[in-house]
Structure 1
């Protein structure tokens, strides 16, 4: 009699685990099958089934070891009654399998005639295969120019990569692996470079590639005349610059950031002191970013001194120290004289000479100012710099504000007094009208007499007297 199964219900197996036999590479094209991987799933009931996949496509279940692809399964029933299933995949891979992805799936039954699956992790194989062609490429993204580092890479479609040799003009160029690096190249590095690979697994293959390297260049810029130019104020100056380059180029004359010419010719008519200084001729190849060359020349303008409009001086009060500046163009450099004199310092800013004097703001200085005089062999110039008190206008304005503020206070006080007076008159009139002011007949008579004695009072209170008479007539007779 057969004993009943200890598992009347189904038990889902554990997630399958897929492992590779080793990291050793498999050689494509062999006549014997190689182990690809082993798939194991544990603790399932009833007995599950393992299915192999390559690139998400199921592989037919083959157990015949004479086939190119087959599986070797094994089943172990544990003491618990659960099953451990193992399957090992063997193949004769080709070059097409170099990027193939393998996985396995365990398929098992659950109550209600349900068929379920659980997927394993994935693996790839390390496959060796012979080279059939070689490629040689330039890694630089921008056009190559003198001074650049050039990187060229040679590789084949085989694995592993074979040895490479690099040749230019019949001479060997040393590279490292499949990489050829040329540092700080010159125009002489231009030419055809050839890469040759040797794969002993495919000696018949033509594994060569070539690159034509073009190193762009621009020659140093030459300027005519090359010497610094010294001209008189108002004269004319001409310069010309030239260069050669591997491609179409431009020439610009610049002074600072300002462009004066786009064709290599620079002409300055009626030169001024402001035009003195350094001029730069810049050559560039627009099609090659960063490929430039330049040369500079200097222009000196001779002439009598010219003083810039000066800035007025200011002091807090008479007697304070004040610093005044006087800026003058001219060549030779002008000599400065201050009247009255003080402590002087001289500096050069761009094309002009600046003299700074520090002195006391005396009454004479406040009245007449300070005179700056400059001279050289071509002439002279002078300017008077006035000195004034700081905030003088502000103080006058403050005093005006204070006076205006005082007047406003007086007006407000008068208005308040008038309002109070009117309020008192209105209050007296109101109390009198309501008969709330205490007064006797005698007082009333005296008041009436006073009203009669004053013309102004009589005119203002005629109606009021009549009103009072009416009020007296209406009182009770007990007072009679």
Structure 2
């Protein structure tokens, strides 16, 4: 059997063993006192004579005990070399026995066994008594937490829980700790009520300890510990962590917007209170209107208008004195551009561009054409170079508005150049016709060619053909689109009749000579027309004089000049 403590015989240890001797006549009686601690429910082993060997002249050993009323009770007698005789007539009759070392054995220890048991050793010359006080210890059950709180209340005594340590002997003590620090009752913040109850049938005790605690905000997530202390072992149990409840002390109103509030935006307001748990109902004051919102702390103003700026408020539904306000500024930026979209105009037309803006603050205007910055466009007389994609952008405080138009400038095609070039080997001619026009013009030649090549960009078109003239030719290039056409001719000499080394220069000389002759003939014709007009004028003037039978009036000098002019004509 296991024992918590089994003291040995030690005359020097007065706390566990005490000796008293007395001699009467020729018989000396010695009394030795000691203590034994047994475990509840186990077998109690009570040593005789501290476990020392019996005397050589031993006659018998008798075990007895002191009853609760102080009277003696016999248990058993053991004579040397004989079986023990049980003398007990009470409950010990079936529970006591003796081993070969004369130790008293008591099965199923209970608290009722906490007596003084005496081993009387009788020899021929001595009678020794060895009283032993028996204590029965019982380890308590594991610490239990009952009536555990769900939350703690700020500034109010709240029961954290009841700590119970049951079926112990001796009585177990209980200690409360918070975050590892021992709590001491002060009847203000910490209130501890401890009680002990003894079970009559077993004599075992149950200790209960109730902790009440006045929490603060800083006690959120605090862990409380209940610990039991007992000679047979200590035990602990945790309580918590807890959430601390407290009323709201401050309310704030937030505008959940990442940037400036623009007209037409959905604006969400959030009412925040610092209470725990957070309030579930709020009043939102929106431009003079009071709205109750339950089970939410937000309110959304849909498509806010520019005139909706101003002060907004929110308050607790159960305490409207707890309120907060926030000022909201609604920014707006309007842009109107005319024209917009695709605009088709003709070369030489006028295109008015009108831009209007309206904003809540200073706005910056910028223009771009085909992605490159330009000044604000003014089109008094459109040219092909004015065509492109125009974009007007207005910005204010991170807000941007933009509109655009695509300008297409159309015009009937016009040939800007018609050239010829001899190939290096002199076997063919390359004719190039260049023109301007929108939409893209088509090319037509008065001769058949090969190796045609064309290009078109920004209203400029180029077309090349290769010809092999066998005779001198006059070649015409015709360009056309839906708005009209244009034509130009060029003289091309035969590649067989010209000097290869001088054929291009000769063609150019011929062309220049033809041009000079044409200019001279034109001047002669113009002079003749002027003379004829003058002659008809003078003739009509004279006939008028004859019709009225009036005599010409003039000096002789004027007559001479008139006559000279007539001869000149």
When normalised by structure 1's length, the TM-score is 0.50
Q: Contact 1:194 / 1:209 at 8 angstroms: preserved in 2?
A: yes
What SS does structure 1 have at the residue aligned with 2:358?
Answer: coil
Cα distance in 2 for residues equivalent to 1:87 and 1:54: 18
Between the two proteins, the alignment pairs up a number of residues equal to 325
Greater per-residue helix proportion? 1
Hey, which of these two has a bigger chunk of strand by percent? 2
| 35, 42, 50: which one aligns with 2:159 | 35
TM-aligned CA deviation for residue 300 of structure 1: 1.6
- Aligned partner of 1:418 in structure 2 is none
Task: Give me the whole-angstrom Cα distance separating, in 2, the residues matched to 1:271 and 1:280.
Answer: 18
Aligned to 1:70: 191
Q: Residue 287 of structure 2 contacts residue 308 of structure 2 at CA under 8 Å; is this kept in 1?
A: no
Report the Cα distance in structure 1 between the residues aligned to 2:206 and 2:443, rounded to whole angstroms.
Answer: 107
CA change 1:193–1:125 in 2 (3 A) is same
The yes-or-no answer on 1:3 pairing with 2:36 is yes
**d(CA) in 2 for partners of 1:18, 1:382:** 114
Tell whether the 8 Å contact from 2:282 to 2:292 is kept in structure 1 after alignment.
no
- 1:49-448 correspondence runs (5 A): 51-54=175-178, 57-60=181-184, 62=185, 69-72=190-193, 90-94=211-215, 96=217, 99=220, 101-104=222-225, 106=227, 123-160=240-277, 161=279, 163-173=281-291, 175-176=293-294, 177-199=296-318, 206-223=321-338, 228=343, 230-232=345-347, 239-261=353-375, 265-267=376-378, 273-285=384-396, 287-289=397-399, 291-296=400-405, 298-302=407-411, 304-305=413-414, 330-337=437-444, 340=448, 374-376=479-481, 380=486
Evaluate the alpha carbon distance shift between residue 76 and residue 275 of structure 1 in structure 2; reply closer, same or farther with a 3 A threshold.
farther
Q: Deviations over 1:91-139 (max 9, x none)?
A: 25355466251232759799xxxxx999865723344433333221212
- CA gap 1:29/1:288 in 2 versus in 1, 3 angstroms: same
Preserved contact between residue 263 and residue 330 of structure 2 (Cα < 8 Å): yes
**Bigger-Rg structure (1/2):** 2
For 1:352 and 1:44, the matched residues in 2 are separated by: 108
* 1:88–1:337 Cα change, 3 Å: farther
State which drifts further: 299-308 or 237-246.
299-308
Q: Which stretch of the first structure deviates more once superposed, 39-48 or 188-197?
A: 39-48
Where in structure 1 are there 5+ consecutive unaligned residues?
Answer: 8-12, 78-82, 111-115, 310-325, 365-370, 384-480
CA distance in 2, matches of 1:192, 1:349: 62
**Corresponding residue of 1:430:** none
Distance 1:173 1:256, change over 3 A: farther
Q: Which has the higher contact order (CA 8 A, sep 6+)?
A: 1
The alignment yields a C-alpha RMSD, in angstroms, of 5.6
Q: List runs of 5+ in structure 2 lacking aligned partners.
A: 1-33, 41-138, 199-203, 419-432, 470-475, 490-569
Distance 1:256 1:85 in 2: 92
CA distance in 2, matches of 1:94, 1:164: 27
